[in-house]
Structure 1
Amino acid sequence: MLRLPSGFGPRQLQPASLDLTLGRRAWRVRAAFLPGAERTVADRLSGLALHELDLSRGAVLEKGCVYLIELREALSLPEGVSAGANPKSSTGRIDVFVRLVTDNGTAYERVPDGYEGPLYAEVSPRTFSVLVREGSTLNQLRLRRGDAFLSDAELRRVHEGRALSENGAIGGGLRLSVNLAGREAETVGYRARRHAGLIDVDRTGALDPADFWEPIAAPAEGFIVLDPDEFYILASRETLCVPPDLAAEMVAIDTELGAFRAHYAGFFDPGFGTGAPSRAVLEVRGYDAPFVLEHGQVAARLLYERLTGAPETVYGAGLGSNYQGQGLRLSKHFARG
């Protein structure tokens, strides 16, 4: 089902997902693309690649550019088993846009059942340039057998037995709102600085947040204005949990909820928020026009799905999980005050 590279390690295994790793070859491409049902990625690269990069020595991916990177893992899926992918939380929180691409692919982030072949990551840093190398991990994969997502009615029954959030607002999944309330001068979010330095994706706690982020104080008016094409880190008003027998995925784009995109990184593993109150961190980017975002405004939806079996270890239980018990939290690359 999974063809794993030499050097595969247990650190790549999460309770309900697998961390994918960058391979040696990458290409700067003219534009993002999908191969289409009749073509492979290699077919399309012949006309779209500008130059090739060797990641065995490390390489800088510049903001505003698009790259296609081969992954070290490959898939050989049986009939009835599909896969989905999402950026890792730490990737989304530094505004690196990552999408999974397959041969003969007609959709990003989704691998149909029966697929056999290589995997690629389309990578586009939006705010910060990043240093990556062979073996770096930017996205993750989840295998699925059939349709395991819970309906709203099923989700309500789960919430009645095990509260998933304080308010249990359900409609097309568990709805989460944004927190912009706090004491005077209390930081409720961050706005990215446009001309900051380089981020090494493999270094943890190495950077001063002040060099990359402007803190946002709790607004007296109860709202902030999202400027077009600016990147923000905010937190949900609600704490939430993912029970050990379920997993969840955040809806990445939802135009019904407002003129912004919320949450690049979509997977929540079983055990998130259990035993340690945890909020969802929202990676928010405004669209073409300024947009008012108010305290308590719905900003994201969380879809829950059943597991085929209970994981041996859940999120936060001895796995070195970075974001268990989080409130407003920048990515792991930044020193904590």
Structure 2
Amino acid sequence: MTAHGILPDHELESLFRDGIVSAERPPAEGQIQPASIDLRLGSKAYRLRASFLPGSARSVTARLDADLVMHTVDLTAGAVLETGCVYLVPLQESLNLPVGLSAAMNPKSSTGRIDVFTRVITDNGVAFDQAPDGYRGPLYAEVSPRTFSILAREGDRLSQVRFRRGVHQPVRDLTVSVDLQGFDDGIVGYRARRHSGLVDLARIGEHKRERYWEPLNAPDGQLVLDPGEFYILASQEAVSIGLNEAAEMAPIATEIGEFRAHYAGFFDPGFGVSETGGSGSRAVLEVRGRDVPFILEHGQPIARLVYEPMRAPPSRAYGAVASNYQAQGLKLSKFFSA
């Protein structure tokens, strides 16, 4: 075991026992992943007028005044979170981090692939999706559906958290490019249909794909990204994450400015590894066009995977547990029919 790096599943389990992670309920089945913990929604959501950060000297609750909160939504029996709206949901988990242990959050893959913009806020926070070492306090999820309204319930998991001992120490990175030559029947990607029905987060694989997504072809190896539209594409390269490493996807060049290339970025150890059934796994890319139409070409670099060490290999690698996206090609979120 190394002194620094990402905590594996068996160490994550000890965080609950040691009170470093506390929750209203015991961990649910499958909540602890090979290198992360899923975060569960609490019983209510605040409909906000706008997103915010509390700043270095204030708690989140100190900002939730009548000027910011429009109304409260009860999630215990399920409620619709609508597109174009910003919600703040207290999470069931809270943190009591010792010095030297920090946390980073990210949307789950299934969340990013339905175009739900999600990030985590802490008390005294000056940045999203970060809890510095020594942080003690609650966690809140900001949730903003962009294309599909969602039916969410208490206990649903939209975000995940990784824990790191020591400083962030990337060991290598891998640039990935977009595949526009096609997969099944020449399809190179999908564009989300606007004004579709809502996505019920409890109905895995039950939403008809054709009602929510338009398949795309690129016979000349080019695809025009329309401003404001949301796309699912895939990398040209097969990706693998060894058992002693974890990775996170980052944009290849933020200065391009004409599209955002990912929403959910954590890749667990074992992803794409042949021993756990992942041979040929691609990275699925969640892409949103921005200010002007932009031509994307086959093989164009679009994102990069940043690798960093695990403190130890996980007890169960990605693919050895229930994994929705092992050996994936161009794959939509688990909520849609194949």
Closer, same or farther in 2 for the Cα pair 1:254/1:42, shift >3 Å? farther
1:86 match: secondary structure: strand
Cα offset, 1:182, TM superposition:
3.1
Instruction: Quote the residue 1:83 is aligned against.
Output: 103
Cα offset, 1:221, TM superposition:
2.0
Instruction: Quote the residue 1:263 is aligned against.
Output: 262
Instruction: Quote the residue 1:245 is aligned against.
Output: 244
Instruction: Quote the residue 1:198 is aligned against.
Output: 198
1:304 match: secondary structure: strand
TM-score by length of 2: 0.90
Which runs of 4 or more aligned residues in structure 1 lie more than 4 Å from their structure 2 counterparts after TM superposition?
none
Instruction: Quote the residue 1:163 is aligned against.
Output: none
Instruction: Quote the residue 1:35 is aligned against.
Output: 54
Cα offset, 1:256, TM superposition:
3.6
Q: For the Cα contact (< 8 Å) 2:84–2:144, is it kept in 1?
A: yes
**Partners in 1 of 2:84 and 2:168 — Cα distance?**
36
2:30 match: secondary structure: helix
Q: Spell out, residue by residue over 1:106-155, the C-alpha distance to the aligned partner (whole angstroms, 9 max, x if none).
A: 0001111100000000000000000000000000000011124324xxx3
CA RMSD of the aligned region, Å?
A: 1.4
Q: For the Cα contact (< 8 Å) 1:84–1:109, is it kept in 2?
A: yes
Number of residue-to-residue matches in the alignment = 314
**Counterpart check, 1:96 vs 2:116:** yes
**Partners in 2 of 1:35 and 1:183 — Cα distance?**
45
Cα offset, 1:4, TM superposition:
2.5
Instruction: Quote the residue 1:176 is aligned against.
Output: 176
From 281, 294, 315, give the equivalent of 2:284.
Answer: 281
Matches for 1:19-168 after TM superposition, within 5 Å: 19-46=38-65, 47-151=67-171, 155=172
Q: For the Cα contact (< 8 Å) 2:183–2:330, is it kept in 1?
A: no
1:124 match: secondary structure: strand
Q: For the Cα contact (< 8 Å) 1:81–1:144, is it kept in 2?
A: yes
From 20, 23, 36, give the equivalent of 1:4.
Answer: 23
Q: Spell out, residue by residue over 1:257-316, the C-alpha distance to the aligned partner (whole angstroms, 9 max, x if none).
A: 552101100100000000122000000001111111110011111111111112101000
* Unaligned 5+ runs, structure 2: 1-19
The amino acid of 1:227's aligned partner reads D
Q: Spell out, residue by residue over 1:210-257, the C-alpha distance to the aligned partner (whole angstroms, 9 max, x if none).
A: 00000001x222111100000000000000100001000111584145
* Unaligned 5+ runs, structure 1: 156-172
Q: For the Cα contact (< 8 Å) 1:257–1:300, is it kept in 2?
A: no
Closer, same or farther in 2 for the Cα pair 1:244/1:184, shift >3 Å? closer
Seq. identity, %: 58
Cα offset, 1:8, TM superposition:
1.9
Q: For the Cα contact (< 8 Å) 1:149–1:303, is it kept in 2?
A: no
Q: Spell out, residue by residue over 1:136-195, the C-alpha distance to the aligned partner (whole angstroms, 9 max, x if none).
A: 0000000011124324xxx3xxxxxxxxxxxxxxxxx21000000138951110000001
Instruction: Quote the residue 2:207 is aligned against.
Output: 207
Closer, same or farther in 2 for the Cα pair 1:103/1:55, shift >3 Å? same
Q: Spell out, residue by residue over 1:60-100, the C-alpha distance to the aligned partner (whole angstroms, 9 max, x if none).
A: 00000000000000000001111000000000000000000
Q: Spell out, residue by residue over 1:2-30, the C-alpha distance to the aligned partner (whole angstroms, 9 max, x if none).
A: 11231422310100000000001210000
1:255 match: secondary structure: coil
The amino acid of 1:80's aligned partner reads G
Instruction: Quote the residue 1:327 is aligned against.
Output: 329
Closer, same or farther in 2 for the Cα pair 1:99/1:183, shift >3 Å? closer
Instruction: Quote the residue 1:164 is aligned against.
Output: none
The amino acid of 1:30's aligned partner reads R
Moved more, 142-151 or 103-112: 142-151
Moved more, 250-259 or 197-206: 250-259
The amino acid of 1:21's aligned partner reads R
Instruction: Quote the residue 1:302 is aligned against.
Output: 305
Moved more, 4-13 or 180-189: 180-189
**Partners in 1 of 2:235 and 2:256 — Cα distance?**
14
**Partners in 1 of 2:107 and 2:293 — Cα distance?**
26
Cα offset, 1:35, TM superposition:
0.5
